[in-house]
Structure 1
């Protein structure tokens, strides 16, 4: 069924957006900074894909789940949405884990003396 993969990606992106909004992780914490990070990530990974296609590493096989729309040779439309999902999930995960790591390191015995020694 053409387009099924794209529908799945859009559902996953919607789920990540809900988590992001609920916990104010990435776009809902700093929208401008998040947009810049997202664009940089997308440009990097799209360039990576184009280089991989040029080197013959990446290619589109036969698959009835894709829409058939290509952004470039052997780069399907779905790749853009996959990369949005990849970047957004990574940044939400980073934003969710960072405060936990900071709290754990602050509770570590001797952390205050260690931090004072760096000043």
Structure 2
């Protein structure tokens, strides 16, 4: 699993896909509330003046000194559910983030699955 000890050190690192293409820059990390393990990164994507934060899963991701490599390609990440650069993920939007990547969403009634760290 992706180590969680230095979350602050990841901010601003470039996020790349399996082919080495840059997706964007890591802005935040959301942890799974059941395990407290990193689950998704928010990645700054878009053009100048039109940036947004796209959600990209961290399962299988690796960290190098200059990048975080994720298992998902740039196109899929770019098409992912996103929030404004000042926004927050609404509880009712969580299932669509998981569904975009074909990941199971097992929520307990009234309990959020993701929390920003």
TM norm structure 1: 0.19
The structure whose residues are more often strand, as a share, is: 2
TM norm structure 2: 0.19
Structure number with larger C-alpha Rg:
1
